[in-house]
Every structure is written in C-alpha cells, then in structure tokens.
Chain A
C-alpha cells in the first residue's frame, strides 16, 4: 500500500494543531512516518492524553483513606477493605460511539471497563451504569435508549457480571449526545494484583485474546470531537463487542496473573496496540521491539498504521517473565484464545515497530504518553452569562397549583422519578450470587463471600444542578452518592468519576469543568473519599443541543457487618416515620419545576458539607445500633417522592403511610423542594425512646412526621393517593412510554 505523504495538512486531518505537529517533528528531529503520525495522533488525542484536563485532575485528592493504588497509576484504583482483600473500581464513558451505534457503543463500553478491572487481577463482581438520554417522546431517543440498554444487558449478562444499579435521566439537553457511563467493581487479594508495566530486557511481549481487525480505527480521535452530521460516517469507528471472548479472556487472564507468570498486563482499549505498548513501556522506563507480522489478524493486507490503530475489542498486551511464555500460551490455548509472542522488551526506552522487515515506527515511548511527553494545556475560562440570570429567577412568580394530588401524580410519573424496572429487568442482576440488594434501592449491596462484609455502590449526578451551579452541583453529586451508601448501611470509601463536558476550547465549558473539579475536590476531601481514577469525556455537544455538564460520581462504600444492611422500603405497619435534616424551600433545577412548569431555573440547592457529614455520621451510627428499619435519601422530586418510594419500592409488599410534614411558605414548595442533607427513615415503635435519646445527642435535626400503614399515602390531608394507583404510575410510566406493559 502506498502511504500518503506526511505534512501539516495531513497532521491537521489527524487532529493536530500546527504547534503540536511541530513538537512531534522537533522531538523526532525529522518528519514522522505515516504510521508514526497515526500513533502520535491517537496518543495525543484528548481521549488518551487528557491534555486539557490532567492539570486540573491533579488537584483532586488522589491518596489517603484506604487507597492502595491511586488515580492514574494503574488501569483502575485499588482500595483496601480488610481481610487481605482490595476493591478495584472505575467508571468510563462510551458516549460518542453510543450516539451513532447505541447497541455496540454501550456494549463495548461495558467490555472496556470490565477489562480495566480484570487486568488488575481482580474478578469483576458488579457493574453499574449511569445513562442520560433526551426526552422519551422523541422516537430517536427511544431507539437510543432501547439499544443502549440492550447493549449493556447482552454484554454484561453473557460475560456473567451482575449489573446491580446505576441511574437513568431524561432531559432534552442529552438528545443528540446521550451519555453512557459504565462502571465496574472487582475484588482481588491484595498480594495478587497485576501492574500495567513492561520491564526486563528480553522479556517476551504477547498479544492475547481476539485477533486484530480494521474495526475501531481512530475511535479515540472520534471520541475527541463534537458529534455532528458527519458523525454517522464515523460508524465504522465504533468497535464491535464479543462478550463470550471477553469471558474467556477473563478466566485466562486471572489464571496467568494468579500463577505469577507475568511482569505486566494492559487492556487494549482506545488506541489499541499503540497505547498499550507505549504506556507499558513508559511506566517501566523501557522500550519494545514489536514485529507486526506476528499479530493474529482478522483480515489480510492490513498496514502497520491500521494494526497500530485498530481498536478491536477483547485484546490484551502481556509482558511475560522470560521462560514462562509457554505457560501463558498454554493457558490461552486451553481457553481457545489467540496468544502470540509479538516482540520483546528492550531497555532503550524506544518503541520500534517492524512490519515485513521494515521499521515502520521508532518512537520514544515516554514522548507519547500522558504524564510523559504528551501536551498539557490550561485552557481559557469564562463564566457563562446565563448563570446569573438563572440565579435571579423569582420563584414567587410561579402560580400555585390547585390540585396537589394531580401535580404529584405528574411528578411521580416523570421518567426521571419513575421506576427503572423496565431497564434493570433486562440486566442479570443476580449472577455470581452476591447480590443482597439489587437495583431500585438507594445503593446496591454486594456480598463479599467468605467474610461478614458487603460493598455498597452507587452512581450519581444531577446535570441540571451542575448546569445551574457547577461547583455546588458537583459537591451535591459526591454528597448524594455518599448519602446513598450510608442509607444502605455503608461507610463511603472512595469515588471514581466520569466527567462529561462540552468542547474544552470553549471558555464557558472550561469554566464549568474547572468549577466542577473544585467542588469535587472540596467534597471528597471533606468526606475523606479520595478519587481512585476515572475518565474525562469532552466534546459532548451536538448541533442541536448542548449537553448539561455531567460529572458522574461512582461511589463505593464498605458495609462492615451484614447486620447493617438497610433498604429504602417501609417494613411494617405502625412503624414511625421521621424526617432527618431541614428544608430550605429550594426549587432551583428541581424535577417539580421541570415537570409542572417546564422550567430549568434558579440556583442548585446549597450543600453544607458540615451538615451533610453530621447527617451521615448520625444515620450510620443509628443503623449500626440496629435502630433503623428503613432509610431513603431525599433527592429529585422532594420529600413526598421519597415517601412514596419508601411505600412502593418493595413491589410485592407495598405499604401506605400518613404523614404531616412541616410547611414553610408554600405547601407545594415544601413537598417538592430538593434541599440536600435530608433522609426519610422509619423505626419500630418499640425503639422510639432509644432512637430519640440517641439522635438528640447528635447535631442532626429530626422530626417525627407520621406512621406507616393503610392503603394510601396521605400527606397533610391535602394529598391522598392509593398505593395501587401510586404503583401503577411509578412502575408503568417508562413501559407505557416504550409501548409495552410489564
């Protein structure tokens, strides 16, 4: 094949700026070859280099707590949970591929994040996902929603990881550019972890798993630009997933790691062989000699450029200990997988890529990678004009709704509030038999076998809050995910983040990004939940809409004893209901405002970190003392929605409730306010005295508001709705919009 001439124009087509292209030439002391240009372009793409975000990400708390491996050091972070075990977890976006090819886009998102976990030596024990789409009234949105859910389901179900939780939001802002963030959690013995490094002159380098094809070439570059009319043509940049191969890859990989036959291993995700060879070399301060003729290929005649840039899924790069390559090959053959020695490690620091006896690329590994020679930028920031305008919205100008029951019915049937059963019933949430609390409660609870412990996990972010107030909104995302973990009986351990923002070259977007990072850092330091890693996804824009800035938080907590596990549903008739925390009538960015008035106005709710921490400490201590029957956090849809959910989350055993809630100025505001740091709990009447004695010692405000029981939810005698009606609204909303019944 005749290779095109490398010049500035070609470099620009590859996404380089003139300045970046000149740097490449300077470093090489010559014009790069076509293959080298390709490698540089993917490695310096936003997706691989984090060039516009890394400087800010470094300000986040990335150590402390129980962190064993911090952000950026390995494929995923590692947190100590005692008993000689550690948890590896990470969240990653697959937004752009899912926007053009929802099924494969979402499926390979799941595949990629699972590989990140098991290359650490950890067996994936749970998956979660955080999804955002446009309005379900739109046919294309339904197509994307249906395809993404099926993609996640088919991949996770076949692979055999339970998908236990997450979140789904609908808002017009995500119409052209849905967000698909996949999270995975794994467990590993502390002394059996693997590292993504290459060292030891002469150690063999192997490629394992699927063969390499022409799929996904330039996927990383595609992910580093805005969605446009031209994106449809990028459909071939979307990889195709094969969960069956991934399952085999998992078993084989864990076997070679456990037997200690390898020096290092890295998943091939974005930028395929280019990324894994250069990052592993750079980490081990080594180089590699790679012979592309040895790479198992899916099709003939692939050029060096194509092989280096292919993003074919279900592949790994392994550096074996010299003399153990046969053992590694034997293991992969047992699982009917490809495994080929494609080169050796050298100590020159230089990556030498050969094909047909010709040197196709000769590059310093260090120059290519994040943390090495990849560019680092601080972008210009500008506070967007809309923010002040939004903040000055006068809520008193809103007409007061007459029929509050009717209004509540609309809110509870909003797809953002309504049950996501239509989604999670398609996910195998129970395989591996560790799922104690599956999807639908505050946080998922996963049992850790052979211990008396469990993990609690949750993803969270309210994009509307972040849009109205990036810093406060991001703090809320951290606080709420922690609150969810606490409501389930766990102590928050650490977070992973998936930062979905627009084009960073637009100063308004970068201002929001910067504010969000500041808020996240502040909250994480306060709660002592360091950041174990994650992913940045810029360029989430389409010609029609601009996506709300959405820094998704994935929180993992430890439940120290199975006795502490708590769920959101009311348990027994006659139980007493209490409200913890206080309301400040905060309607900014609320679901009520959106559903009833079709407005996204005001400021996000305020978050007082001290009050939040007090609440969480108090609640956890009450749970540990065995005084709490149910705990449910108050979030979208306000106090009344939270009460309704506690009534009907247990589909088979719903219970009514009658409560009298405190009213500030307007009853509708008090019902639907989304003030933070609040939880609805229920207790047995038998422990009333003990409970009140304990909680009165804390700083957390509390109020008795009513009792569990009856066939209805009755609030302040203004709202009365039968439990059956409530169930129908809550559980049928999404299926009826998707045109089916459950």
Chain B
C-alpha cells in the first residue's frame, strides 16, 4: 500500500517543496501540502514538518509555529499514534510542541553549518529505521540551532527507552565528540518519542534522495516508513 505524506507549509518553511518532491516525485508515494491556517490533515498517513524558518524563527526556533491551527491537528494525530517526522525546523517545532523532550540551543560554534555528515543508526526498532540496511547514513545538515540539550533525567530516559535514533559519527561508526558538528549532547542527531511514532531529526533526509545530486541515503528513511507503517 502506498502511504500518503502530508507536508505542512508554515510561513517561512523552505524545505517543504524538497520534502514533497522527494516523497512524491522521487519515491513515488502520495503527498499533499497542508496549509498552516487549516486543520484538515487530508487523510495523511505520515505528517512531515519540513525545514526552514517558520514564522521567521522569531522569538525562538519553532516557538510560534507550534501555535498555528494545523499543529493542533498534528498533536492530536500524534497522540493517537499517527506518524510524524520533523526535519530540522520541524524537529525544533516538535520540541516546542512537547511531542518530543528536550530543547535546542545555538550550535556550539555560534554559526550556521551546512555540510554532509555521517549518522550512526542507533535504533533500528522504529518504523523510521527498521528497513535501513546499513549502520551509517550520509545525510546533510543545515542549521544554526541543532545543539540538542536535555537534563540528565531526560537523557537517561531517552537512553533507557532507546529513543535515540541517530547520532553523529565518523564514516566507520565512531561516535566521538570530534564528529559532532553542533555540540549536541550524546551526539544526538535524531530522537523518537516513547511510543516511537514521532521522529525529530536535524539532518535533512529529503536532500539526499535524488540520484542526480549524487547522494541517496535519505531514501532509506522514507522507504522504511513506507514499508513499515502499515504492518
């Protein structure tokens, strides 16, 4: 069965078209844009909160977006077990909306960073990762605030519940501080909620889907979703 992806468009989203293009044109799934002022999720199986600078990221990244009408529906959907993936700014919005624990700080360098990074796939027991056939993914990041922070209790809980999904690593799976681009705790690049139906990740899988751009590891995440959500 072909899944349907709903791609939310906030004012200031700028990876909405990239996500739509990746799932619809490259991977051949159904996809539809969801306007932030509306509340209808249009029967989507998976909601994508795309990257960008929603509401200009004024006040704090993601802090205004989470109050938009569509987010009420997304929160309901997630609480009922619906699948949600927040990419970059989408991850920040999920944190602000309380769907994922923790917070983002500015990158340690205090600079925006755009480059390809390697991710160690830490937990393959989620719909987002089950079908990934490698230990490492090469996927680009592009953010100014990806320095994940949480208190010790929360971190322990994340570890105990195996909620850490992606960690920054070397090409040969060495999860060391020196491969961490932004200073995030435990090299965290992506986490899921306890129920494992909501994923937040800083790297942009939609940017590594098109073979023409000579990188395709991002496909593995979307394919895993498609192959596993109906099981």
Using a CB–CB distance below 8 Å, which chain A residues touch chain B? 150, 153-154, 157-160, 242-245, 247-248, 335-336, 424-436, 447, 449, 562, 652, 740
Contact = CB atoms under 8 A, between A and B. Distances in A.
A432 B212 CA distance: 13
Given A153-B112, A244-B11, A436-B212, A431 B56 contact: no
B11 A248 contact: yes
Contacts of A433: 18, 21-22, 206-207, 209-210, 213
B14 A244 contact: no
Interface string B105-136: 00001011111000000000000000000000
A433 B26 CA distance: 12
Given A242-B56, A428-B142, A436-B213, A336 B11 contact: yes
Interface in B37-66: 51-53, 55-58
Interface in B141-158: 142, 144
B214 interface: yes
Nearest to B114: A428
Nearest to B22: A433
A314 B212 CA distance: 34
A447 B14 contact: no
B207 A430 contact: yes
Contacts of B55: 244
A373 to B, nearest CB: 41
A429 B12 contact: no
Contact of A435 (B22, B58, B209, B213): B213
Nearest to A740: B109
A211 B15 CA distance: 27
Contacts of A430: 114, 140, 142, 204, 207
B195 interface: no
A349 B18 CA distance: 46
B194 interface: no
A728 to B, nearest CB: 15
B112 A154 contact: yes
Given A243-B56, A244-B57, 18 more contacts: A158-B12, A158-B52, A160-B15, A243-B53, A247-B53, A425-B111, A426-B111, A426-B113, A428-B112, A428-B142, A430-B114, A430-B140, A430-B142, A431-B142, A433-B209, A436-B212, A436-B213, A447-B212
Contacts of A425: 111, 113-115
A428 B14 CA distance: 11
Contact of A426 (B11, B112, B207): B112
Contact of A158 (B18, B57, B113): B57
A426 B110 CA distance: 10
Interface in B201-229: 204, 206-207, 209-210, 212-214
Contacts of A447: 212-213
5 contacts: A158-B12, A158-B53, A247-B14, A248-B12, A433-B207
A429 B51 CA distance: 14
B214 A244 contact: no
A741 to B, nearest CB: 10
Contact of B17 (A153, A429, A432): A432
A247 to B, nearest CB: 6
Contacts of A153: 111-112
Given A158-B57, A243-B53, A431-B142, A426 B14 contact: no
Contact of B212 (A336, A424, A427, A562): A562
Contacts of A449: 21
Contacts of B11: 244, 247-248, 335-336
B213 A244 contact: no
Contacts of A248: 11-12
A171 to B, nearest CB: 25
A244 B12 contact: yes
A433 B210 CA distance: 8
Contacts of A154: 112
Interface string B177-212: 000000000000000000000000000101101101
Interface string B74-88: 000000000000000
B9 to A, nearest CB: 9
Given A248-B11, A432-B17, A157 B212 contact: no
Contacts of A247: 11-12, 14, 53
Contacts, number: 87
B26 to A, nearest CB: 9
A158 B145 CA distance: 13
B142 A436 contact: no
A740 B113 CA distance: 14
B64 to A, nearest CB: 11
B53 A244 contact: yes
A424 B21 CA distance: 25
A-B complex: 4 closest residue pairs judged by Cβ atoms: A160-B14, A244-B56, A158-B53, A428-B142
A352 B15 CA distance: 44
Contacts of B109: 740
A426 B21 contact: no
Nearest to A449: B21
Contact of B58 (A159, A244, A336): A244
Interface in B1-24: 11-12, 14-15, 17-18, 21-22
A740 B107 CA distance: 14
A41 B114 CA distance: 43
* Central interface residue in A159, A431, A447, A740, by most chain B CB within 10 Å: A431
Contacts of B14: 158-160, 247, 431-432
B15 A157 contact: no
B142 A158 contact: no
A157 B142 contact: yes
B112 A160 contact: no
A427 B111 CA distance: 10
A46 B2 CA distance: 60
* Central interface residue in B56, B57, B112, by most chain A CB within 10 Å: B112
A312 to B, nearest CB: 16
Contacts of A424: 114
B205 to A, nearest CB: 11
B87 to A, nearest CB: 12
A431 B18 contact: yes
A424 B113 CA distance: 9
B114 A429 contact: yes
Contacts of B12: 158, 244, 247-248
Contacts of B53: 157-158, 160, 243-244, 247
* Central interface residue in A429, A432, A433, A435, by most chain B CB within 10 Å: A433
A427 B144 CA distance: 10
Contacts of B142: 157, 428, 430-431
A398 to B, nearest CB: 40
A431 B210 CA distance: 13
A242 B57 CA distance: 11
A426 B14 CA distance: 17
B185 to A, nearest CB: 21
A438 to B, nearest CB: 9
A424 B112 CA distance: 10
Contacts of A335: 11
Contact of A431 (B15, B57, B171): B15
A158 B51 CA distance: 10
A160 B212 contact: no
A429 B209 CA distance: 16
Nearest to A250: B14
Nearest to B55: A244
Contacts of B140: 430
B60 to A, nearest CB: 14
Contacts of B21: 433, 449
Contacts of B56: 158, 242-245
A449 B25 CA distance: 11
Nearest to B26: A433
A209 to B, nearest CB: 14
A426 B213 contact: no
Contacts of B58: 244
A107 to B, nearest CB: 13
Nearest to B204: A430
